[in-house]
Structure 1
Amino acid sequence: IVPPGAHVSAAVLILSVLEACALDSYSAAVYEHNVILSEDTEIPVSPEDAFMLMDKNIDILEAAIKAAAKQGAHIIVTPEDGIYGWIFDIPDPKVDWIPCTDPERFAPSPVQKRLSCLARNNSIYVVANMGDKKPCNSSDPRCPSDGHCQYNTNVVFDSEGKLVARYHKYNLFVTEKQFNYPNEPEFVTFNTSFRYFGIFSCADILFHDPVVVLASRFQVDSILFPTAWGHTLPLLSAVQFHSAWAMGMSVNFLSANTCNSSLAMTGNSLVYFPPAMVHYNTETENGHLLVTELSSHPRLSPTYPAAVNWKLYASSIKQLPSNDHRFSGVVYHDLFSFTELAEPEGNLAICQKDLCCHLNYKMAEKQKDDIYVLGAFDGLHIVEGEYYLQICTLLKCKSTDLKSCGQPVETAQTKSDMFSLSGMFGTNYIFPEVLYSGVHLAPGEFEMLTDGRLISQTRTSRPVLSVTLFGR
């Protein structure tokens, strides 16, 4: 108990002790899981049948957790929707509960008991996603008829099996009809001997709350991200956008995705400074474990990026190149303004509303079947969620027909000698993406200049699919 007037100094003292004890690095793991699904039925199954299904999924997660622990991982993240089934009540972590040793304290809790024991018996932090059921006020119009809300929930158990964090997802995807969202966004963090973490889920990443608050105001060093993310090219594939978000927000990012080819879900990643470790595979349905070493203090790294003025360079351009070949195309339901890169090298601009995008480029032995465009979008995205976007992008078209520009494409033949992309953005939340043929990232081959230019550092090692500044 802290006496009045001593709260701040005591908090500072506690943080100082944690800093002194903290490791300089830690080993992190993420697991892409091919979830065993229930039958598609409107009739609820029995608790016994639901637990039987979840037990099968946890059996698979158990093997991944043990493998990560054997490789020395301090923490492992498993996917959103990775367990499924019967909904349990998850208490506030303040209650100081270890389900492994006290499973009946709040109610029968077989899922939480197994997760807690897996963490405790393998001395590893375990991050998992499950359901949570909470009573609600019947006078609230959002309260279901049975008087309970159900939440998409992340839980974290520490290496002793103790529940240390619980997060209820705030920004539900449009298909998540089975869940409610909390009245207010939750900003969930927890500290460890190896660093300070924040946690959220999937579609949350596209919104300000809670994600920007965690990275900017709470200054977390690492984000834990269970997700069930669809492979949405050309700008929103999992490894592409998640790595771009991590770079834009300058944090370690631990993303664990569901693996399901029928739903086009794949791509888990450990993104950190300066490189990235990612897994992308649409050919198999096997789960995949990634383990790597991360910096505990990315903000203290000499490679930590300087602050960027995202429109400084673009605003210095007084006269735009003439553009007589403007046309429109759709990228993930949004109507972009495009102009073709008709020459192997050049200087182009395209504008939409308040956003003007600028590109200086030189292709290396451009292939005749590869058509590229410079695109701009400044508007409200209204399909599968509503959020405002400002995007500048260099895109390869799916075919030589300009009507195909903006459609998903995974292969290209043309490399780039150089590119420099910038825009007149009205936001500071810009996420830089560079994606190569075969859905490969380009760590170490591009950089963000403090004047807002995304530039290549060398000739690209692979043919280019897209170069993008994705603004929220």
Structure 2
Amino acid sequence: MLSYTLPALMTIFAIVLYLFYVAPVPPTQEIQKVKLKSMTTNSFYAAVVEFSPKGALHNITHNAVEENLREYQKFTEQAKSLGADIIVFPEYGLTTIEPYNKHSLALELSQFVPDPDGLKISPCDLETNELDLRVVHKLSCLAKQNRIYLVANLIQKVIDKSEMLLFNTNVVFDRNGKVIARYRKFHLFGEIALNHTDIPDITTFITDFGVTFGVITCFDLMFRSPTVDLVRKFNVDAVVFPTAWFSELPFLTASQAQAAWAAGMKVSLLASGINNPKDGSTGTGVYQPGAFHTVMLSSSGSKLLVSKVGGSQEQSSVETSCGFKTLSENLTSYSIAALSLAGGQPRSETLCNSGFCCHVHFQLELGVEKSDDVRYSMLVLSDERLHAGQYKSKMQVCAIVACSGPEKHNCADDFSKSTFSKRVTFKYLTIEAKFSNDQVLPNTLSALNCGPLKPAYYYFTRDIGNHYSLKYIGNETGLHTFGLYSHGF
């Protein structure tokens, strides 16, 4: 039951009206601190958490959610002690992913969230023990007590007329614990227990340190709306990105996709990933054009990154390791051609798919490898892809990939099946193509650490008429994926 002081009662009554109103629609803990370059003139400290939630799958309870809230408290306090202005927690970090396909469980763990456009009130100022308000209340208090902007993902319940709707929702609290923004995930990856809005939310918020943020969730990264629209139409400086990504070869492992998006969009990305490597979920970082700090873990654990965004540029930090599970893209629609390695001389090759042509200029140094044991293939695509069985996305891809064999599907095999790349060096490599759109990303992946290449290892340029090129300037072995990747346009 609730207990209130009389002065609080009228305030609570008012906020409840807004809560029920709806517009249509044991892990290890580590800390890292680095400096990164910002695209804005304002600097700030950003904290992101790779989080391994407590609570067994198939048996997630309110008690497990409370345990995870206590872990959130520890990370928030640590982030604040390191000077963080904002902290981002992952998608499904409080509940694990288990509720997204179980409506009864999702409903049980769901929360009411105040309308940020309604009363400007901090839930922390309300006295409540109601299960469907407690999580929001405690998150609000974490933000207020630590004087920090806080972004958390939860399952939001909404009463729309006589219907109960459930959303995968990011909630943003300011330093006073007020709810200043909320975003309901539009592109659901399965998640059959949840609803999505009729049209995508466009969610932004402005901080007291002069930075405008956009808000998206996980699979939304693959589509133009609302993700690219946030950057192109609303001029955000950075995007907060809670995620429970499932890594996919050869183009969409988590840190690979995050780094590519930030570099291609020329905007900062604060990505917080859920940690479950045995099922393919890991990948967290702070990314900016020209520099990033990213982690991917091969074992269960939690990690806090605190990075200064703004000021002088520092070296990128890639703390990734192989061993996480990967899915495999269906490459049937791609055109494929093995690179000719004869003589080890500089070569140029062209491959087209549906009138879209990719040009590769390269020279390999095989080292101790025999040419018959090395198989890099060009992969080219201009077609639609159906994601999650319901979302169509136009794709154009121009890339080279280390493949374990001659068939297309061999180019999406696990890293362990194409180990030759760890001993091969590209003395020269440039990929170029003329795209039909201006949403092109530099997609890179190393077999040495199963993470993206540092930006210092390549040049990514765009010329007149959407002609893009990607030039490798590193001298390390281990190149697994290197290409120009366009999706969701």
What is the TM-score when the length of structure 1 is the normalising length?
0.80
1:71–1:291 contact (8 Å) kept in structure 2: yes
Q: Which residue does 2:360 correspond to in 1? A: 359
Letter in 2 for 1:446: Y
More helix by share: 2
1:30 is aligned to 48
Find out whether 1:281 has 2:297 as its counterpart.
yes
Instruction: Please identify, of 164-173 and 444-453, the stretch whose mean Cα deviation from structure 2 is larger.
Output: 444-453
Q: 2:456 aligns with which of 418, 434, 444?
A: 444
> 134, 137, 140: which one pairs with 1:113?
137
Shift of residue 137 of structure 1? 4.4
Point out the more displaced range, 436-445 or 348-357. Answer: 436-445
Corresponding position: 1:123 with 2:138: no
Distance 1:91 1:371, change over 3 A: same
1:356 match: secondary structure? strand
In 1, are the aligned partners of 2:460 and 2:471 still within 8 Å (CA)? no
Q: 1:337-383, CA deviations, whole angstroms, 9 ceiling, x for partnerless residues? A: 11111223310111110211111111233533331011101111125
Aligned to 1:339: 337
The corresponding residue for 2:376 is: 372
My pick for the range that moved more, 399-408 or 265-274, is 399-408
- Can you list the C-alpha shifts for 1:392-424, whole angstroms capped at 9, x where unaligned? 111001247776233232652212112111123
In the alignment, which residue of structure 1 is the partner of 2:25? none
Task: State the shift of 1:389 in Å.
Answer: 0.8
- Residue matched to 2:194: 179
Higher relative contact order (CA 8 A, sep 6+): 2
Give distance in 2, aligned partners of 1:403 and 1:163: 47
Relative to structure 1, the CA distance from residue 268 to residue 400 in structure 2 (aligned partners, 3 Å threshold; closer, same or farther) is same
Contact 2:204 2:215 in 1 (8 A): yes
Check the 8 A contact 1:99/1:116 in 2, yes or no: yes
Report how far residue 471 of structure 1 moved.
0.9
Match of residue 250 from structure 1: 266
Q: 2:434 maps to what in 1? A: 424
**Cα separation, 1, equivalents of 2:477 and 2:128:** 56
In 2, Cα distance between equivalents of 1:89 and 1:455: 47
Cα distance in 2 for partners of 1:167, 1:210 equals: 11
Letter in 1 for 2:110: I
C-alpha deviation, 1:261, in angstroms: 2.1
**403 and 285 in structure 1: CA distance in 2 versus 1, 3 angstrom threshold:** closer
Secondary structure of 1:435's aligned partner = strand
CA contact (8 A) 1:397 1:409 kept: no
Matches within 5 A, 1:69-218: 69-84=80-95, 86-94=109-117, 95-104=119-128, 109-137=133-161, 147-174=163-190, 176-194=191-209, 195-218=211-234
- The CA deviation string for residues 276-326 of structure 1, in whole angstroms up to 9 with x for no partner, is 1000121x2011111111129x9xx9xxxxxxxxxxxxxxxxxxxxxxxxx
Partner of 1:470: 485
Partners of 1:129 and 1:152 within 8 A in 2: yes
CA distance, structure 2, for counterparts of residue 404 and residue 107 of structure 1 = 49
Describe the shift of the 1:395–1:161 C-alpha distance in structure 2 as closer, same or farther (beyond 3 A). same
User: TM-score, normalising length from structure 2?
Assistant: 0.78
In 2, are the aligned partners of 1:334 and 1:377 still within 8 Å (CA)?
A: no
Root-mean-square deviation (CA, aligned residues, Å) is 2.4
Q: Structure 1 regions of 5+ residues with no counterpart?
A: 1-21, 42-48, 139-146, 302-329
CA–CA separation in structure 2 for the residues paired with 1:108 and 1:421: 53
Change (3 A) 1:401 1:171: closer
Name the amino acid aligned to 1:251. Answer: V
Contact 1:416 1:463 in 2 (8 A): no
Aligned equivalent of 1:407? 413
Contact 1:103–1:109 under 8 Å retained in 2: no
Q: Deviations over 1:247-292 (max 9, x none)?
A: 111100000011002321111111013211000121x201111111
Q: CA deviation at 1:459?
A: 3.5
- Between the aligned partners of 1:230 and 1:254, the Cα distance in structure 2 is 18
Residue identity matched to 1:406? A
Q: Which moved more, 1:160-169 or 1:395-404?
A: 395-404
Amino acid at match of 2:288: Y
Answer whether contact 1:135 1:149 (CA < 8 A) is retained. yes
Tell me if the contact between 2:458 and 2:474 (Cα under 8 Å) persists in the aligned partners.
Answer: no
Distance 1:461 1:55, change over 3 A: same
**Aligned equivalents of 1:202 and 1:181: distance in 2?**
14
Instruction: Give the Cα–Cα distance (whole angstroms) in 2 for the partners of residues 402 and 211 of structure 1.
Output: 30
Assess, with a 3 A threshold, how the Cα gap between structure 1 residues 466 and 61 changes in structure 2: closer, same or farther: same
Please tell me whether residue 237 in structure 1 is matched to residue 235 in structure 2: no
Q: Are residues 1:387 and 2:397 paired?
A: no
How far off is 1:192 after superposition? Answer: 0.8
Deviation at 1:78, TM superposition (A): 0.6
1:214-234 C-alpha deviation (Å, 9 max, x unpaired): 111000000000000012121
Paired position in structure 2 for 1:66: 77
Over the matched positions of the two proteins, sequence identity in percent amounts to 27
* Equivalence for 1:9: none
Paired residue secondary structure (1:159) = coil
Aligned pairs (5 A) from 1:282-301: 282=298, 284-295=299-310
Distance 1:100 1:213 in 2: 33
Match of 2:62 in 1: 51
Work out the CA distance in 2 between the residues paired with 1:277 and 1:426. Answer: 31
Distance 1:455 1:398 in 2: 24
The 3 A distance-change label for structure 1 pair 70 and 178 is same
Amino acid at match of 1:358: H
Residue identity matched to 2:152: A
1:158-197: CA deviation from partner (whole Å, max 9, x where unpaired)? 11111111111111112x0111001221110010122110
Q: 2: distance between equivalents of 1:216 and 1:403?
A: 35
Matches of 2:189 and 2:113 in 1, distance apart?
A: 22
Contact 2:250 2:411 in 1 (8 A): no
Distance (Å, rounded) in 1 between the aligned partners of 2:329 and 2:434: 20
